[in-house]
Amino acid sequence: MSQLSDREKLVASRIAYEAQWYDRAIFTLSKVGYLNDVDLRFPLAFADEITHSSGIYKINPAWAFAIARRESSFMADANSPAGAKGLMQVMPATAKHLQKRKVTNKRLMNAKDNIKLGTKYLKRLLDRHDGNQVLATAAYNAGPYRVRSWLKGLEPMPADIWIETIPYKETREYVKSVMAYQEIYQIKVGQDVSLFDQIFTMSIAQ
């Protein structure tokens, strides 16, 4: 791939996309610096599974798409150094807690099962934070207990300001990315409401 010209890499990314190798298409476009093709960079990958599971757990499917895009670029067999598995990078311990039993790596690497677990966990985090999606997104990355510690003694502040004060740079950038990705996916799935408008009127408090 490194020996290809930029034009050849763009062609390769299109071929990867059509073969449903979404992560390869995304990474190739990023290397080339070609950021204008929204369809290739933000595919509606695993749309049936994500839409179905999001409906079951009553969460915004655009949010689930954004999480999967940020976590793995839709790589079903993604495996992080920290041990997170699959499309939505679910930790084995989290899966066990959600299912009340051990979940095999085979299931975690199965896209359909992983999406079920990931969306179920998003719903649990959303409920824990009274429907505040910014906090739930931060908790998906940093863990609910760490987010709770950040909120301790916090006076109410606008959500966009709170995001900038997140102590962990990784989580701060993660939340920004997911929110930006969700705005794109809301357009792609036909939602008219702007997530950014909601964030600008949202307050964060203990």
Identify the structural domains of the chain with CATH numbers, from first to last.
Answer: 1-41 (no CATH), 48-204 (1.10.530.10)
Task: Please report which confidence band the pLDDT of residue 181 belongs to, taking 50, 70 and 90 as the band edges.
Answer: very high
State how beta strands 203-204 and 157-158 pair.
antiparallel
Mean pLDDT of 158-174: 98
| Cα gap 105→77, rounded to integer Å | 10
2 has a pLDDT exceeding 80: no
Global pTM exceeds 0.75: yes
Mean pLDDT of 35-45: 93
Mean pLDDT of 200-204: 92
142 has a pLDDT exceeding 80: yes
- Catalytic-labelled residue, pool 8, 71, 173, 183: 71
Element (H, E) at 31: helix 22-32
What's the burial of 122, exposed, middle or buried (CB within 10 Å: 0-12/13-18/19+)? buried
Mean pLDDT of 66-90: 98
| Cα gap 4→21, rounded to integer Å | 18
Question: Is residue 18 flagged as an active site residue?
Answer: no
55 has a pLDDT exceeding 90: yes
